């Protein structure tokens, strides 16, 4: 009987090691599969979000184009006013409300503030992008030899 237990002990040890390796491998495969699935879902959400944003932009352009002549040959960048209190010190946003849309035409240098709830243009202003002032000349000191 003693001899039988000593022979079975190494076999049981090997079986436990194999089982641990199999379980660990299955866990890794399951984790990678789940990670891949969620990565794919994230990619789909990003794609759908871009489509929704593009569709919203086209709808706003269509509504605003019925109220004012828009610059042609340029797709504007759109922003949404989320906190008008932060913008009150800027004259362009003086009458802005939460949810208003800003269409920014960089080539035409024009910004349009539109209120979708009233379907009215609140403000139109020229757009100053970048530094339009001449750069200050560099002052150099003569080198000493």
Q: Give 47-59 pLDDT, tens digit per residue.
A: 888 888 899 999 9
Average pLDDT rounded to a whole number, residues 117-122: 95
Average pLDDT rounded to a whole number, residues 100-118: 95
Domain total for the chain? 1
Average pLDDT rounded to a whole number, residues 120-136: 73
Helices (H), 66-127: none
Residues 53-82: tens digit of each pLDDT: 899 999 999 999 999 999 999 999 999 999
Q: 133 lies in a domain?
A: no
Q: 51 lies in a domain?
A: yes
Which residue in this structure is represented by tokens 């080198």? 143
Comparing 11-20, 63-72, 112-121, the range with the smallest average pLDDT is 11-20
Q: 37 lies in a domain?
A: yes
Domain, as residue range, for 103: 2-126
Q: 141 lies in a domain?
A: no
Q: 140 lies in a domain?
A: no
Q: 139 lies in a domain?
A: no
Q: 28 lies in a domain?
A: yes
Q: 136 lies in a domain?
A: no
Which residue in this structure is represented by tokens 């390796």? 21
CB distance 100 to 113 below 8 Å: yes
pLDDT of 43 strictly over 80: yes
């Amino acid at each position: 009987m003693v001899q039988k237990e000593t022979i079975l002990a190494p076999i049981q040890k090997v079986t436990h090691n194999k089982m641990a390796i199999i379980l660990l491998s299955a866990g890794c495969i399951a984790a990678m599969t789940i990670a891949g699935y969620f990565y794919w879902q994230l990619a789909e959400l990003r794609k759908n979000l871009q489509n929704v944003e593009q569709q919203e932009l086209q709808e706003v352009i269509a509504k605003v184009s019925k109220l004012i002549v828009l610059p042609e040959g340029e797709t504007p960048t759109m922003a949404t006013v989320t906190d008008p209190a932060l913008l009150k010190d800027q004259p362009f946003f003086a009458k802005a409300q939460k949810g208003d849309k800003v269409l920014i035409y960089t080539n035409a240098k024009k910004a349009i503030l539109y209120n979708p709830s009233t379907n009215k243009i609140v403000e139109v202003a020229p757009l100053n992008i970048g530094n339009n002032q001449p750069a200050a000349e560099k002052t150099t000191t003569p080198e000493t030899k």
